[in-house]
Amino acid sequence: MKKVILCKYGEIVLKGNNKSQFESMLLKEVRRRAAQIGSFKVTYSQSTVLIEPLDGEIPESVFAEMYTQAKKVFGFAGVCEAACAEKNMDDILRVAAEYLPEKIKGAKTFRCTAKRSDKKFPLKSPEIAALTGGAILAAAPWLKVSLDSPDVEIRVEIRDKEAYIHAGQEKGAGGNPIGSAGRGLLLLSGGIDSPVAGYMMAKRGMFIDALHFESFPYTSERAREKVFELAKLLTEYTGRMRVHVISLTHIQEELRDKCDEDYFTLLLRRFMMELALRLAKERELSAIITGESLGQVASQTLPALCVTDSVSDIPVFRPCIGMDKEEIIAVSRKIDTYDTSILPYEDCCTVFTPRHPRTKPVLEKVLREEEKIDRATLIEEAYSSKYSVLVKQFDNNFENRF
C-alpha cells in the first residue's frame, strides 16, 4: 500500500497574483529537506504539496523523518499521512479497511468526511463518506460513529489523479515560506528570548543571519559553543544560518573605566546596535531582530529602547515585545531551544552589570557619557574582530570563514 504525505497550504492561498512566487519558495524548501532524507517526489496541486516515496516501499523510519521535517516547513497549515487508492469506490473501501484500523486503534469514536476536488467523480461527498464509514465499521467493530465530538476524523479526498484516505491532520508550522519576507539580522545572545525572536521572524518568511557578541576571557568558549548550538537548533526551521561573532571585551573595559556605571548597559546596547547596523548593511540585511520584551529588564523599558534605537536607521523588530516570560518559554520549549538556552554559561550582558541601571534614561545624558570614550576607534576595533560560521541543517561540521 502506497503512503504519501499531504501538506496543506496556510496563508499562501491568500496571496493572489503573488501566489506562484510563494509556492516556488515553499517547494524549494521541501525538496531541499527531502533530498537529505531519502528518495522522494515533491509535487503540488490544489493548494496541497504531495510528498511521495520514489522507490515504493521505504523504511518506516525514513518516512517518519520526512513527515517530521514537513511539519517544520513554514507555509503549511496542516500535514497528514495518507494512504493512496485508485479513483473508484471499490479500491477506496479496500484501502480504508486495510489502512485505517491500525492507525486509529486507540480511538473509540470516529466521523468520516469526504471532499471531491475532482467533481467528475460519480458519487457526491456525503455518499463517499457514508460508504467509507461503513467499511471502517466492518473492519474496526469496536468503533462507534460520533458526528459531534469524535476521537478521530477520517477523511477521503478525491483529487486529480488519486484518492487519499487519512485519519486527520496535524498542525503545520504555519507562517510564510522562508525567504519570502526579506533578510534580517538576529542578535543571538544565548538566552531564552533571542532564539524565540529569530524563530518568530523566520516564521513570517524572513531569512536570518545571526550576530553574537562575546567578551573573552570574561565569557568562555562554552558560552560561544552554546550559541552555535542554538543556531543549529534554529536551522531545523530556517535551513541555514550564518552566525557572526564580534568581541566587545575592550569596549566593556573602557565603559567600566571611564563612564558612569549606571549608564553602562545602555552604552553597551548602543554599541551593539551600531555594530549590528554596520554588519546588516554590509550583508544587505534590511532589519535588526532582538529578543527584547517590554519592561523585562532595565534596558528594555520604553525610554531605554528609544535610546538604543536612535543609533539605527533600519527597522528594529522585537517579536517578543508584548510577551511575558512564560509565553516566551512556551515557544522555546516548542522549538526545542529551551534546554540549551538555560545552560549556565555566561554571556556578555552579564559582564560588569551595574548595580543601579538607568530605567528612564535621557538621550542627551547618554550622549555626554559617550563623549568620555573614543567611540569611533572602539567600533572599528570591535568590528575588525568579526568572524563568521555557517551553520547548516543536517550538517554538524560548521564552515568557518575568518
Q: Render pLDDT for 211-253 as a digit per residue (tens, 0 to 9).
A: 999 988 888 888 889 999 999 999 999 999 999 999 999 999 9
- Average pLDDT value for residue range 46-55: 91
Check: CB of residue 251 under 8 Å from CB of residue 380.
Answer: no
- Average pLDDT value for residue range 98-104: 92
Distance CA 219, CA 222 (A): 8
**Confidence band, pLDDT 50/70/90 cuts, at residue 14:** confident
**Confidence band, pLDDT 50/70/90 cuts, at residue 93:** very high
Average model confidence (pLDDT) across the chain: 92
What DSSP designation does 85 have? Answer: E
**Confidence band, pLDDT 50/70/90 cuts, at residue 401:** very low
**Confidence band, pLDDT 50/70/90 cuts, at residue 349:** low
Pairing relationship of beta strands 144-145 and 109-116 according to DSSP bridges: parallel
Check: CB of residue 57 under 8 Å from CB of residue 51.
Answer: no
**Confidence band, pLDDT 50/70/90 cuts, at residue 52:** very high
Check: CB of residue 239 under 8 Å from CB of residue 394.
Answer: no
Question: Per-residue pLDDT for 269 more than 90?
Answer: yes
Q: What is the CATH number of domain 183-401?
A: 3.40.50.620
Check: CB of residue 101 under 8 Å from CB of residue 27.
Answer: no
Distance CA 13, CA 19 (A): 7
| pLDDT at position 337 | 97
Domain with CATH 3.40.50.620 in the chain: 183-401
Check: CB of residue 52 under 8 Å from CB of residue 166.
Answer: no
Distance CA 349, CA 296 (A): 14
Question: Per-residue pLDDT for 347 more than 70?
Answer: no
Helix 264-282 and helix 302-309, axial crossing angle in degrees, nearest 10: 40
Of 255, 284, 310, 75, the residue nearest 183 (C-alpha): 284
Pairing relationship of beta strands 163-166 and 170-171 according to DSSP bridges: unpaired
Distance CA 248, CA 350 (A): 12
**Confidence band, pLDDT 50/70/90 cuts, at residue 310:** very high
Domain with CATH 3.30.2130.30 in the chain: 3-171
| pLDDT at position 16 | 84
Percentage of the chain with pLDDT > 90?
80
Distance CA 113, CA 304 (A): 55
Check: CB of residue 6 under 8 Å from CB of residue 48.
Answer: yes
- Average pLDDT value for residue range 57-70: 93
**Confidence band, pLDDT 50/70/90 cuts, at residue 351:** low
| Domain 3-171 sits in CATH 3.40.930.10 | no
Per-residue pLDDT tens for 128-177? 999 999 999 999 999 999 999 999 999 999 998 899 999 989 999 999 99
